[in-house]
Amino acid sequence: MYKIARNLIESQAFTRHLGIKITKLEQNKACLTLPYDAFLGEERINGGAIASLIDLSATCAFWCHPDLSSKSRGATISLNINFMKLVRKSDIFAAAAVERRGSNICVGSVTVRTSNDEKVAMAIATYKLNT
């Protein structure tokens, strides 16, 4: 069931460039890590990198469902992010969970924390997913 979600992370050049890794996959949940690297920002980690981590973690959570197959198709249709604190030279960790799974539209939440467990961002993602 998690093969598709794992493939989303491991097969994309952009994801590999950022260095994003899967920490945990469960039905309707995903945890991903973005290890710190200087190219992400010296004084602060770029918000676009954090947004990418959020989108990918939510996407993985949406794809962690037994009714999906390689023929299923999906896309993010809305991403609302609240950045709460600057991140300086730290790995960051995203925890995503599906809050509602409809017939075609899913809504999920994502929380991003530093290695010191400081909350740095919260997001709501809406995703169109056809089985």
- pLDDT mean by block of 10 residues, the chain; 131 residues: 83 93 96 97 93 97 90 95 95 98 96 96 96 79
Q: Report the 10 Å Cβ neighbour count for 44.
A: 13
Helices (H) and strands (E) in the chain, counts: 3, 6
pLDDT score of 43:
86
- Token pair for residue 6? 């794992």
